Structure 1
Amino acid sequence: MRGEDMSAAKKALGKPATEMFDDIPVLQRKWRAALRPGERLPRYEDVMLGSLGRLADHIALLRYDGTLELSRSGRYVQTWLGDERWDISVAALAPDCATALIEAAANALDEGRPHLANAHCVRDGMVRTYDVLALPTTSRWGTTLIGAYINERGTQYNLLDAIFSATDDAVVSLATLRDADGQPFDFQVVHHNKSAELILKLPSGSLLWRRLGERANLLASPDVRELLLAVVCGGRGEQLEIETDGRYLRLSATAFADVVSLTMSDVTALKRRDASFRLLFDNNPMPMWVFDAETKQFLSVNDAAVQHYGYSRATFLRMRLPEIWPRDEWDSHSEALECIGDTYRSTRNWRHLRADGSEIEVLTFGRRVTFDDREGYLVAVVDITERRKAEARIAYMAHHDGLTNLPNRDYFQERLKQALDQAGGKRVGVLCIDLDLFKNINDSFGHPMGDRLLKEVAERLRTVIRGTNLAARLGGDEFAVILAADVSPNEASACASLLIEMLSAPYEIDGLELVIGASIGIALSPGDGLTSEDLMRNADMALYRAKSDGGGVHHFFEKEMDLQAQKRRDMELDLRHAFANGEFELHYQPLVSIVSDRISGFESLLRWRHPEKGMISPAEFIPVAEDIGLITQLGEWVLREACGEAVKWPVDIKVAVNLSPAQFRSRNLVQVVISALAQSGLAPKRLELEITESIFLAETDANLATLHQLRELGVGISMDDFGTGYSSLSYLRSFPFDKIKIDRSFVKDLAERPDCVAIVRAISGLGRSLNITTTAEGVETEDQLDWLRAEGCNEVQGFLFSAARPAGEITQLLAKFGQRASRAA
C-alpha cells in the first residue's frame, strides 16, 4: 500500500465512524436481495462485487477450505489488522483481530446468514470497538467465501492520554537556558499537564513559557534548581523528594539534550492512585493478574480472573503460576517465561487449568511492572476456547455436507486417494448412487420435504456403511460409497443390491408414505482405474447405464461404456457446430380432420442433417441437446421457422409446435412466441403449442400462469401423449386445453386389444364432454382409422396419410387432399 493511502486509511481508522454505521443494514439487505430461491447462500459475485463504493475499503474477503484464509482486504482493514499481506491464514493475523474474524465467520456459516459481532482492539494505546459483519457467500467455482465488513463503532479511548490526564502526577517539560559560555543558568516551562498547576497551586496558564527564576514557587526552590542542573550536566535521570505545605512530593527528572522532563508525584494521593488502579485492573472485564518475576507467586488478581478461573481470591494468592499450567506444558511455559523481556505477547495458544479441572485455551499479554516494590509482570488473558471450537467447526463443515452431515465430495475424494494409496494392489470399490423418482418428491411436496427425505436416506446409509468404508453425499440426490477392504466383485454386487433394497423401502414423513428407488454404478480398482478420478468417472458411467435401463438396478463399469461416453461427447460437440452451421431443418406431418377428410394443420418436427452421418434421429440428439442446455435455443429457432413457413399456407391450415420443459424454465417463452408471431405475421389462432404433462410436474403455478398468458394471445394449447402419465385427468381441471392427443401406444393395438378401444372411447368421450378436440397419433392402417372414426375422434395423423415432409413438399400434400396451396391473404 502506498504511504499516502496508508495515511488516509489511518486517518479514517482514527475517527469515530458513527456516520457509517448504517452501512451494516445496507449490506444485510444486499445479501438478502442476492439470495436466490432454493439456494442456501447467495453468489459472491452478486453480493461483494459491483457498487460497494467506499465500503470496499472496509471489506475483508475470507476463503475457507478446511482453514480460514484472508484472500483480499481493503485499505481500512489492512490498517485495522496492521498487516498488508493477502492469501494468508487468518490464524497468522493479530490474535485479537483473528479471534473476531474466525468467530464471526464460523457463526455466519453455521447459521447460513449474515452474523454481526464486535471486536475490542488496542492499537497504539487506543482502545477501540469494531463491528464485524460476516456475509457468507458461495462463488461460481463452488468455493465458500465470507465477506467481512469491519468498521469502528462509538468512542475510542487513548489509554496513555487518559492515564496522563487523570493522574495526579505533574508532568512539566522545561527548556535549558544557557549563558554566553554555554553554562545552564535557568529553565523555561514549555509544556505541562493540569496536575502541575494543581500541585504547584498556580493559576491556570500562569506557568507556561515562564522562567523558573522569574517567580517564587516550588520549581524555583534551590533543591529543584540543583536537581535540574544535575540532570542537564550529568546526562542521567535524577530523583528528589521534598515536603511542602504538608505534602510529600517525589520529583523525577530526565534530560533529552537541553529538554528536561520533570515528573512530580504527590505521594499523599496514593489512595486516589489506588482507585485509578482498581479502575484499570480490578474492574477490567478481561482476566488479569500480577505475578512475582522470580517466585512466580500470584501477587494480585482481578475479579474477572477469579470468576473466569473459579478459584477464590485467597486461593489464587496462595498459588504459583505453574499451578494453572497442565503438567505436559510446564517446560514450554517455563522456557517462554525465561525469554520474555519488558513485554510479552503470545506467539502460540496456551492451555490453562480452571478450578474445576477443565482446560481452556488462551492468549496472554504481559508487561514488566513494579508491584509493592517487587519486580513482576502484569498479565492479561484472552480466552480463545470458543475460537478454537469455531475453527474445529469450520474444519468439520469444510469436509461434511451441511444437510445430511455425511462426508462431502472433497472429503470423499481425499479418503478415496488414501484408500488407493494403502491398497497395495488390492481392490477398492466405488459405488455411485443416484436416487430414482426423487425429483418427483421435490416437485410434488416441495424442497423442504425433499431435504427431510435426503436426511432419511443418509441415516439408512450410515446403518450399512461402517468401518473403513465410507458413505458420502456428492450433491443433490447423488451419493457415493467407498468399499476399502479388498472387496470382490460378488461382495460389491451384494452391497449394491442391499443398498437398492434398503433405499427403496417406503419412507414415512409427517404421515406421508414416500417411495423412491436407487440406481448404482460400480467401479473396482485396479481394473477400472488406478486413480480416484478414473474410478469416479467409470463408476459414474456405470450409473448412467443403470439409469438408462430404467433404474432400480446396479451395473459394473465396462470398457464399452467409455466408448459410448466418447460417442456422446462427440455428439455434444457436433450438436453445437450443427446449430451454428445451420444443419437443422423442419419437416411437417399433416393433421387430418376425420369429418372433412382434409388437412387441418401440420405438426412441425425437428430434423438434423449431419454433413457426414446423414439424418440423425431426434430420439438420439434431443436428449443430448436437453442435457447440454441447447434445447431452449433450438426450440426458439423451431418456433420462428414454423411460423415463418405457416404464413405461406392457406388461412384455414394451422401449425403445431412442440415445447420442451426447458423453454418453460427460461421464463421468457411468452415474449419468444409474441416475437415469432410478429416477425412472421402469422395470426395467433393458427399456432398450436404442444406440451407434455412433465411441464405440470415442475413449478405448477408458474407454468400455469405462462399457459394462461399464451391462451390470452389467442394461441391454441394441446396436451401431447395424453393418457400415458399419472395425473392426466387432473391437468384437464387445471387448464382448459384446446386439444388432447391420444398417444400412439393406444392406437397401435386398436384392432386386437379391447382395453385400447376402451381407452380411446373414454378419451374421445371426455373430449366431446369438455369441448376439446381429440387427435389420434400413429395411425398407420385403414382399420385403425375406422375404429377412431367410430369412436368419435376429431383428428388423426400418421404414416397412413404421410410421414413428416420438408416444407417444399407441402404443396403436394395439400393437392393430394384436394386442397389449394395458395398463400393466405
Structure 2
Amino acid sequence: MFSRSTIRATVDNLQAVLNAMPLPVIMKDRSHRVVVANDAACTFFGTPREALLGSLDEQLPEDQRAVFWKVDNQVFETGEPNENEEVVTDAKGDVHVIVTRKRLVELDTNDGREPFILAILSDVTKIREAEARAAYLAEHDPLTGLSNRNRLTDTLAEAVAASGRSQTKVGLLLLDLDGFKQVNDRYGHVAGDELLRVVARRLSGHVRSGDTVSRIGGDEFCVVQVGVQQPAGAFALAKRLIRAFEEPVLVGQTRVSVSASIGIALFPDDASGMDELYNNADMALYAVKRSGGGSYLRFDHFPEGQVWPEWDVEKELRAAITHGDISLAYQPLCDGMDSVVVGYEALARWTHPERGEISPDVFIPVAERTGIIRRLGAWIVERACRDAAMWPDHVRVSVNVSSTQLEDGHMAGTVRHALDVSGLAPRRLELEIKESALIGATEMVAQTFSQLKEIGVLLALDDFGAGTSSISSIQRMPFDRIKIDRSFVSNLDSDARSVAIIRAILAIGKELDLSVTAAGVEHESQRIALRHMGCPELQGFLLGRPEPLSRVNERAEQANEGKEAT
C-alpha cells in the first residue's frame, strides 16, 4: 500500500495514524513488553509513552496482569485471534470493563521476523452497567426493591418444580393492603409510595431467609414460602404479617394506619400447577376483602355456602354492562411546555347499585379471565370514540388494551367499527398496551399490531422502563409513543437514578421519533423538572384527575368561551 502511495512508510507516520485512532492500541512482543502504544492507550493507562514502551504491564495490578498474559500466550501459541472481556483498573484507580481484541502479526525486525500481538481495547463499562441495571429492573420493583411479578413467576415455577421432586409443599400468600387507597387519596401518591416502601421492609423482616417477597402491582404483595410444614407454616406467617401492621406507619410527619388481607393457597394440596395456585390464592384474597379484610383465608376453607367470588363478579359484571352501570372517566394528557390539554385517557368505572364504586383492579382481571373483556373492551373503544368525536380536532383519546384483546383476533375489527360509527379520525385514537401484555406475545399479537397500524391509529407502550424488555418491545412492535412509568416520576425529586433514567428514555424517544408521556405527575416540582428535560407530554393528578364526560365537555366550553372573549 505504501509503495503505491506518496505517503512515506516511516515510524513517525505509523505513530501518527495510530494516534488518530480513538481506541487504545498497543503492540507487545513475545516477552509481553509493550513496543507500540498510541495516545489513547497512554491516556487510558495514565502513563507517558516513554514509560509505557518497554514496560511489562506494570501499570496493571498483578492479578489483572496474569489474565492479560494468559491470553497473550494463547494467541502466540495458536496464532488465532482472541476477543476477551476483562476488568482493568485505570490510572485513576477506576475499574473498567474492556473488550480486548488481540491478533498475531509478524513483522521484520533487526533480529529477523518476529511475532507480535496487536491489541485494541474498547471500554464497555457503561454498556455493562446499563445491562446490569436493566437486568435488575427486569426482576425487581423499582419502588420497593422487592422481586417483581416477572421474578415471582420464575421463583414460583422453581418452587413448584422442587416441591414435586422433594414431596414438600409450597405456600403462596397474596397480600393486599386495606386502606391504602384512602392514604393515596388523602395524602397523595408520594405518601402512598413511602407507605409501600415501609410495607416492603416490614414484610421482608417477618419472613424466613428462604422465602421470597414480591410486589406484584399497586398495593398487592406476595410471599412464596418453602421448606416448612403446611398449612401450619402459612397460617403462622399470615398471622405474623397481619400483626406487623398493627403499628401505624410514619409517612413524613403523619402516622397512617393500614391493615392486611391475605389469601393462601398450597401446592399441591390446592392446585395442580403454578397458574392454578396463583388463581386460587387470588380467590381466597378476594373473599377476605369482601368479608371486611384484616384477616387471612386459605383457598379450600371458605365459609360454608359462600359462592366462589369470581363467579359473583362475572355474573354481576355482565349485568352491569347490559344495564349501563359501566361508564368512562377521562384523565387529561397535557402538553409538557404549557400544560394545554392535548388528549384524554379513557378509564372504565363501575358503579354497583348496592356496593357502590367497584375498583377496576377488581373487575378488569375478572373480565380478562372470563372473556368478558372482549365485550367490555368493544364498548369502551366505541364509547370513547363517540365522546372524542365531540372534542376539538387536536385532542385525542387514549384507551387501554389488554393482552387478551390483542390475542383474540377481533381487535382490529372492533376499532374499525368504532371509528366508522363515531366518525373519529384514526390518528385521534391511541391504544395503550402495558409491556406485561407483550410478554410471550404470539404471532396473533404481531398480526393485530400490523392491522391496527394499517387502520392508522396510534399505539403507546405503557409503563415504559419498569418491565422486563422495554427496549426490545419498541424494537419489535410499531409503537408511536412510550409512557414513562410513574415510579420514576414519583422519585424525581429524591432519586438521581430516576432523573438519569427519564433523561435516557427521552433520548430514546427522540432518536426513534417516538412521542413520550410522563405519567404520575403530582407536584409542581416534578412538572418543572420534566419541562426542563424537554418531556413532550405529562399526565397526573397535578394536571387533572379522571372526570366524567360532562365535566370534560364543560371545561372545553369554558376554554372556547375564553378564546372568543379574547
Larger CA Rg, structure 1 vs 2: 1
Question: Which TM-score applies when normalising by structure 1?
Answer: 0.35
Question: Which TM-score applies when normalising by structure 2?
Answer: 0.49
